Each structure stands twice: as structure tokens, then as C-alpha cells.
Amino acid sequence: MVYDASRKREIEIIVKKISDSGRKIALPDESLDIVKLSGIDVPSQVLVKSPGEAVKKSAEIGFPLVMKIASAEAIHKSEAGGVVLGIQSVQEVEEQYSKITSDFKGEIPDAKISGVLLQKQIPDAAHLIVGGLHDEQFGPVVMFGMGGVLVELFKDVSFRIAPVTELESLEMIREIKAYPALSGYRGSKALDIEQIAKSIIIISDLITNISTIKEVELSPLLAYEKNVMAVDAKVILR
């Protein structure tokens, strides 16, 4: 595995907490904590449960901020009014906390809201998707492609049986049609292919070695010239 035994134990503790709560779907902070422990960078974040706590913690994280609803029912948070970008002040934090919870309840009235995730907003970059799941026929598999609406429109993705080697992860990256855009097309700067490949390996190892995890998805994984960062993640238990 890419991560050591102590990190694996920490991941298993989070997974047990999710399972003990009677849930199969991890909350946003739990998913990103698992991703971070696995070895992929994530933005600074904290789960808050009241407007007052949000105001206090926002000052610690710094602006601009993103707010994301924390609910097991929030699979597509943006479409349900569960994401607010570009929050620039403490006053906005207080206002948007009430608005995001109200808007989300309006879209999904029966949803249980566990709080709101405050996340440091980082510069935008190329949106990628990396995922892993336990397939009934093939066992653990890993997937890579362009993220956002591109993955839905063009299905430009590659797959491998997990676990994958470094060579296989690089092959997966080169197989997608959009690879030239990642490697430096017409004078544009190449993205960090090495770190993208490492992220594929990490998710491959995670889905292979943590048997209680059924599915994990990083969408988007933001790719820069140097490094990558997961700003959203989904983890589903078996």
C-alpha cells in the first residue's frame, strides 16, 4: 500500500464510525479525511453545526471559503443547492449557513443534515475524476478520466483491474482522448502527470486493501503544474 499501517488503522476507524452510525455513505468531511489519510492532498476544512461555529471556524481557515452541505442524501450537492462558492467574509458565512441549509431542505425535505463543511477555496485547475469500486464480476477496479460535465458528456475514461502499477497508471492517463490537454498542448504547460498517476495508484490501493469500502470517487481532482488536490470525494461502504 502507498500509506502505512497506522494510516490504514485511522481509515478503518473512520469507516467503522460510519458503519456504526447506520450509514453506507460517508459525509463529505469523512470522505476527504479518508482521501487525505491515503496520501492525496485536500484543502483545509472543518465540519460545523451552527452559524456561530461557522463564523468562528471560518476565521481560522481564512477566505475565500466554500460551503458544502453535509448529508448522506447529498450525492449531487450542487444540483440540490448544497454548495456555495466564493464566500469572502464572516457576515457572508452567517448569512449563507442559514440559506444553504434552507435551500437544501427545500430540495430534499426528508434529508438529515449533519452540518456544513467549510472548505478553503483554492484556485481552479483542470478537473479530473479518479474512482475505484468493487465490481461483482471483476472485483476491485480503478477508473480515470476528465472530470466535471466532460465525463458525463464524452465518457472519456480508462479502466484497470486493481491494484495497478505505476506503469499501468501512466497508461491509463495516456489512453484518454484528452491526454494532449494534460501533457501540454500547443504551448500550454503540462500538468503534474506523476502526481495524477500517484493518485490513481492510491485509489487503487484503497479499494483493494480496505475491504469494507465498496466505492470511492474523487470528483473533481484538481490537477496543477505541480501537485494535485481533491476538493470533493464520495465514499460508499459495502
Q: Which residues contact 135 (CB under 8 A, 6 or more apart)?
A: 141
Name which of 158, 153, 148 is nearest 127 in CA terms.
148
Note whether 132 and 229 are same-domain residues.
yes
CATH code: domain of residue 69: 3.30.1490.20
Which of 56, 89, 121 lies at the terminal end of a domain, its last residue? 121
Grid coordinates given for 80: 440540490
Structural domain harbouring 138: 126-237
Question: Residue 77 — pLDDT band, cuts 50, 70, 90?
Answer: low
Establish whether the linkage from the previous residue to 28 is cis, with ω within 30° of 0: no
Residue type, 8: K
Identify whether 184 is part of a domain.
yes
Note whether 232 and 149 are same-domain residues.
yes
First-last CA distance in the chain: 20
Identify whether 11 is part of a domain.
no
The answer to whether the CB of 105 falls within 8 A of the CB of 81 is: no
Q: Higher pLDDT residue, 105 or 1?
A: 105
In the predicted structure, residue 113 carries a pLDDT above the cut 60: yes
Task: Give the angle 153-80-231 at the CA atoms, nearest 5°.
Answer: 65
For the chain, give the percent of residues with pLDDT over 70: 94
pLDDT tens track for 165-204? 999 999 999 999 999 999 998 878 999 999 999 999 999 9
The answer to whether the CB of 206 falls within 8 A of the CB of 132 is: yes
CATH code: domain of residue 167: 3.30.470.20
Query: According to the model, what pLDDT value does residue 173 have?
Result: 98
The answer to whether the CB of 73 falls within 8 A of the CB of 46 is: no
In the predicted structure, residue 80 carries a pLDDT above the cut 70: no
Question: Residue 153 — pLDDT band, cuts 50, 70, 90?
Answer: low
Query: According to the model, what pLDDT value does residue 107 have?
Result: 85
Prediction pTM value: 0.93
Residues 84-90: contacts with CB under 8 Å, at least 24 apart: 85/121, 86/121, 87/58, 87/63, 87/121, 88/63, 88/64, 89/63, 90/55, 90/58, 90/59
Which of 63, 91, 121 lies at the terminal end of a domain, its last residue? 121
Which of 70, 87, 121 lies at the terminal end of a domain, its last residue? 121
Note whether 130 and 50 are same-domain residues.
no
Note whether 110 and 132 are same-domain residues.
no
Query: According to the model, what pLDDT value does residue 76 have?
Result: 59
In the predicted structure, residue 72 carries a pLDDT above the cut 70: yes
